[in-house]
Structure 1
Amino acid sequence: MTSPLPQQAAEQVAVHLRADDLWAAKHLALYLVNDGELDPSYIAQAAWRAGKHVYLPVITSSGMRFCEWRATDTLRLNRFGIGEPQGQPCEATRLEIIFLPTVGWSAAGFRLGMGGGYYDRFLGGEEVVTAKRIGLAYDCQRDDSLENLRETWDQPLDGILTETGLRRFDTRAGD
Structure 2
Amino acid sequence: MAHVPASQFAGKLLIDATTVKDILFDLAPGAGRMLKRAQEGLPDVLTELPSALPTYAATLGVSVEIFLRIATSTASIKQLEELLGDARKLVEVLEESIAYHEDQREAEFSQLAETVKRTAARKDPTVEAAFEKLLKYVAQVGIKAAATRRKNEEAARAAADKANEPSL
**Fold shared per TM-score above 0.5:** no
Length-normalised TM-score, structure 2: 0.16
Q: Which has the higher strand share?
A: 1
Q: Which has the higher helix share?
A: 2
Length-normalised TM-score, structure 1: 0.16
Q: Which has the higher contact order (CA 8 A, sep 6+)?
A: 2
